[in-house]
Amino acid sequence: MNSSAKPFVSLSELLPISAINLQLTANSREAVLAELVGQIAEIAANPEARRTLLQALEERERLHSTGIGDGIALPHARNALVGLVDHPILVFGRHAEGISFGAIDGAPAQLFFLLVAPTVTQHLAMLARISRLLRDPKLRKALLSVESEARVQTLMQEAEAKL
């Protein structure tokens, strides 16, 4: 596969330090979504884009929870957000106590990966790739105890290298 055929760069490259929050403080699903959206610089500074994204995320949660179990939630809009962003965006947040997120196993979510993409292809590729990475219990455990944003990036790079 040549590089021009790739739908996007690696997930670790889509996750800047500024999009990592190891101390989420929200106490509800809606507040977590708002806190994660606040990590996206180009959207946080634009009230209309922020409202649009939050509305899309909340609509998706009403349809079916993005809590996938094992303490993980993958908030994302139901469809690609054409026109809202011009490149794929990944945000990571960790909540010490966890938030009830409606996961099938009933476990509160502590690890959150917010995915935003401008195209359906990128949206689905991101979802598939992050889902594959998070099947690894060692990665999940490491993300629960990691102490720096830079280490989150390294953990993601290492996990992707194993795929």
Which sign does the torsion angle of CA 163, 70, 105, 127 carry?
A: negative
Tell me how far CA of residue 87 lies from CA of 10, 16, 56, 90, 146, in angstroms.
13, 13, 17, 10, 27
pTM: 0.92
State the catalytic residues.
76
Residue with the two structure tokens 């209309």: 48
Which two structure tokens, joined as six digits, stand for 58?
């909340």
Q: pLDDT of 111-158, one tens digit each?
A: 999 999 988 888 899 999 999 999 999 999 999 999 999 999 999 999
Question: 14-162 maps to which CATH number?
Answer: 3.40.930.10
Sequence spans of domains, the chain: 14-162
